[in-house]
Amino acid sequence: MSRPRRREYPNLASRIRSWELWSVPAPVRRCLLAVELLVALAAIGTLAGQRFTVAELARLLLVLGLALGFEELAIRVSRLRSRLAASSHVDMTSVWTFAGAVVLPLGLLAPLAIVVVANSWLRHHRSTGYRAYRMAYAAAAIIAAAYTGHGVQALVSDRLAGWPETVAAILAISLALAAYLLVNAGLLHTAIYLAVRPERLREVLPGWDDVWLEFATLCLGGLTGLALLQQPLLALLVVPPMFVLQRSVLTRQLEIAATTDAKTGLLNAATWYEVANIELVRAERESYGAALLIVDMDNFKLINDSHGHLAGDAVLKAVADALAEELRGYDSIGRFGGEEFVAVLSEVDELAALMVAERIRHRVAALAVQSRFDGEPALTGMSCSIGVACFPQHGTDTETLLHAADSALYAAKQAGRNQVQLSVA
């Protein structure tokens, strides 16, 4: 069987015009190109006329060897992590680029970052559909962060020249680490913000798990840099903890994938049912009230039929976010299927449960969901019906309470939708 021919372009200009970069929104494109241009000029400036010692080149080769060797060792884990990630994720290559920022001259940081990022993309990101222009921007952000970290370390080291060597080294590397983290995260999330334009900034900020993972990775990078300066072969000892950390993160991702709903980020039905059982057992043991809510979107099929399933998915995510914000952090919320959500509220009575349900109903009615897929105006005028059942009045186990809340939900639908009904069972 003959291989499919690659698409051919008559000249270089046509090939450049075909890049996917030109399809992204103009503000994002300007941000990407501006950062990449500035970083490219800085890289050229730091390389021009520079001469490097044999020791510096040897350190570069050693860092590259560690980076490429680790990528090969952890290739399967890296690919799985990349596929499981809902969006960008901490790929842990910063252990090598930050180590380079600590031990290499400024002119060698760009070549190091380019090789590390290009290898990472070729080995596993490309197979998951991650766009080349994103990797180019990621490389530019890493180079900018490495330059900043290198500069901060040099500045602090000069200012602390009279301090004890160990204390000065710790302070210099710590401040360089903070500068690297802030610049890299700032550039990446600025581009994400421009692309997504969320109503709230926190929607595009990394979670604390990602922040701590990146911090741990950079700490390993700092230790690797110190080892390279003192006893270069000791840097090999960073590989085992890196591999264990990579696998532990993958295990966590697999746990999340197995317990959450992919579209909304809430608990999936099976996991929610288990959590609800545990919560009701605790309520019975400690003799406090609880409530179970079923929230069902009204006429949701019309949204899918009129605006498409992508818009419908955006609505589901917006409703899920609204539920998470209106309920307490320890209330268990899940997607039960289709456009139906469920929640267990602990330590509430009938009146409190009804007040929460009414608050949710008003919040959903006030939603304006902007579909980011087709440029249509924001979707408004949505509503939901909510059935409420309380423990122990309407049942003492999850199954009984679900039936009671479902009956109340049916009554709300029959009464005209967009209302809350309490079970009468």
Structural domains of the chain ordered from first start: 12-258 (no CATH), 269-422 (3.30.70.270)
Give me the pLDDT at residue 245, please. 83
CA dist list (Å): 68 to 3, 65, 117, 422: 30, 5, 10, 61
**What token pair was written down for 74?**
């952890």
Q: Alpha-carbon dihedral of residues 70, 76, 78, 82, nearest 10 degrees?
A: 160
Give the per-residue pLDDT at 47: 86
Structure tokens at 48: 């021009």
Lowest mean pLDDT among 79-88, 102-111, 133-142: 79-88
Handedness of CA 391, 396, 398, 401 (dihedral sign): negative
User: pLDDT tens digits, residue range 28-59?
Assistant: 888 999 999 999 999 999 888 788 999 899 99
Give the confidence band of 3 by pLDDT, cuts at 50, 70, 90: very low
Percentage above 70 pLDDT, the chain: 87
Contact criterion met (CB below 8 Å) for 115 and 64: yes
pLDDT for residue 38: 95
Please determine, for residue 1, whether its predicted confidence score (pLDDT) is greater than 50: no
User: What is the band of 373 on the pLDDT scale with cuts at 50, 70, 90?
Assistant: very low
Instruction: Check whether 391 has a pLDDT greater than 90.
Output: yes
pLDDT tens-digit profile of 297-348?
998 888 887 778 888 888 899 899 999 989 988 888 999 888 999 999 999 9
Average confidence score pLDDT of the chain: 84
Is 176's pLDDT higher than 70?
yes
For residue 164, what are its two tokens? 């004890």
Point out the least confidently predicted range of 116-130, 284-298, 340-354: 116-130
Q: Which of 340, 346, 362 is nearest to 420 (CA)?
A: 362
What does the pLDDT average to over 21-26? Answer: 76
DSSP 258-327: HHB-TTT-SBPHHHHHHHHHHHHHHHHHHT--EEEEEEEETTHHHHHHHH-HHHHHHHHHHHHHHHHHHS
Mean pLDDT of 197-211: 72
Evaluate if pTM is beyond 0.75.
Answer: no
d(CA 330, CA 12): 57
At residue 113, the pLDDT reads 93
Confidence of residue 7 (pLDDT cuts 50, 70, 90): low
Would strands 384-391 and 420-422 be described as parallel, antiparallel, or unpaired? parallel
Q: Is the confidence at residue 193, as pLDDT, over 90?
A: no
